[in-house]
């Protein structure tokens, strides 16, 4: 009996030891994670049309900035959709068309599209988010300190979560008011074909506003979209 108990105790000890070492050390191969993110970028950059959603649940009190942007566009780059900015403590919705380096907006206060400078609202030109070089997809290949944060289920899909950090200088291309001298955290979720499900960026997007989180969702279509100035 003593021998049997000793064997069972040894087996249990080995199992526990191996389980502990696996959970603490298994953060994924950074080179493999980097390759998966590069594949995710290529999928997005090769698409004819991108559907994009960029939003934060809450902006700091008193901050003027981007609440959300949702629409579609292409890599020319061009965008059309709905943008919400927060200014003076209230939200303002606008139908937006961004093409050929100009941004046009139509709000409930204006019956026609007017040319605007999004920088005055501390918001990006939404078309630039779809640029393959300096747009949102660049973050996928410029993320540092990559780690595998495990798998999770989203409906019937099993997703891999990858975490890392981004230089503020890169994030500033996405949200112009981001602090270029700071470091931001980013969390990606990829499916088993390395298609990006979503990404969440967190950090000092606005001076004196503390940490703010933006969630980005990108989906693709093979059907071209034509976007023209109003």
**What pLDDT, in 10s, does the model give residues 39-68?**
999 999 999 999 999 999 999 988 899 999
**Using CA atoms, how far apart are residues 77 and 148, in angstroms rounded to an integer?**
32
Q: What is the mean pLDDT of the chain?
A: 88
Give the tokens for residue 101. 């380096």
Residue written as token pair 């973050």: 139
What average pLDDT does the segment 124-136 reach? 93
Pick from 32, 22, 40: which is nearest to 189 by CA?
40
**Using CA atoms, how far apart are residues 140 and 38, in angstroms rounded to an integer?**
6
Q: Is a pLDDT exceeding 50 seen at residue 105?
A: yes
pLDDT of amino acid 10: 35
Higher pLDDT, 3 or 53: 53
Q: Where are the domains of the chain?
A: 31-220
Q: Is a pLDDT exceeding 60 seen at residue 17?
A: no
The number of C-alpha atoms within 13 Å of 178 and in the hemisphere containing its C-beta is 23
Q: Is a pLDDT exceeding 80 seen at residue 199?
A: yes
Where does 31-220 sit in CATH, by number?
2.50.20.20
Q: Any idea what DSSP says for residue 117?
A: -
> What is each CA distance from 38 to 24, 51, 140, 141, in whole angstroms?
26, 19, 6, 6
Pick from 194, 200, 201, 195: which is nearest to 220 by CA?
195
pTM, two decimals, is 0.85
**Polymer length in residues for the chain:** 230
Contacts of 30 by beta carbon, 8 Å cutoff, 6+ apart: 146, 147
**Using CA atoms, how far apart are residues 177 and 29, in angstroms rounded to an integer?**
33
% of the chain at pLDDT higher than 90 = 75
Name the 3-class secondary structure at 226: coil
Higher pLDDT, 18 or 51: 51
> What is each CA distance from 150 to 21, 185, 190, in whole angstroms?
15, 17, 11
Residue 130: pLDDT band (50, 70, 90) is very high
What average pLDDT does the segment 141-170 reach? 96
Residue 3: pLDDT band (50, 70, 90) is very low
| Each residue's pLDDT tens digit, 177-190 | 999 999 999 999 99
């Amino acid at each position: 009996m003593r021998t049997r108990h000793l064997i069972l105790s040894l087996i249990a000890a080995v199992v526990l030891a191996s389980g502990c070492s696996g959970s603490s050390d298994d953060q994924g191969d950074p080179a493999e994670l980097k390759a998966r993110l590069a594949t995710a970028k290529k999928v997005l950059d090769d698409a004819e049309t991108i559907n994009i959603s960029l939003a934060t649940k809450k902006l700091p009190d008193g901050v003027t900035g981007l609440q959300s942007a949702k629409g579609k566009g292409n890599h020319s780059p061009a965008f059309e959709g709905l943008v919400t900015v927060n200014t003076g403590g209230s939200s303002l919705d606008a139908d937006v068309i961004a093409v050929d380096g100009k941004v046009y907006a139509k709000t409930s206060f204006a019956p026609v599209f007017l040319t605007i400078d999004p920088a005055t609202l501390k918001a990006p030109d939404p078309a630039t988010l779809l640029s393959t070089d300096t747009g949102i997809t660049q973050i996928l290949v410029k993320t540092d300190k990559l780690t595998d944060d495990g798998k999770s289920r989203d409906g019937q899909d099993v997703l891999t979560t990858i975490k890392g950090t981004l230089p503020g200088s890169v994030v500033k291309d996405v949200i112009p008011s981001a602090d270029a001298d700071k470091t931001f955290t980013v969390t990606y979720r990829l499916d088993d074909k390395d298609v990006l499900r979503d990404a969440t960026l967190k950090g000092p997007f606005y001076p004196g506003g503390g940490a703010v989180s933006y969630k980005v969702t990108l989906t693709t279509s093979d059907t071209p979209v034509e976007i023209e100035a109003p």
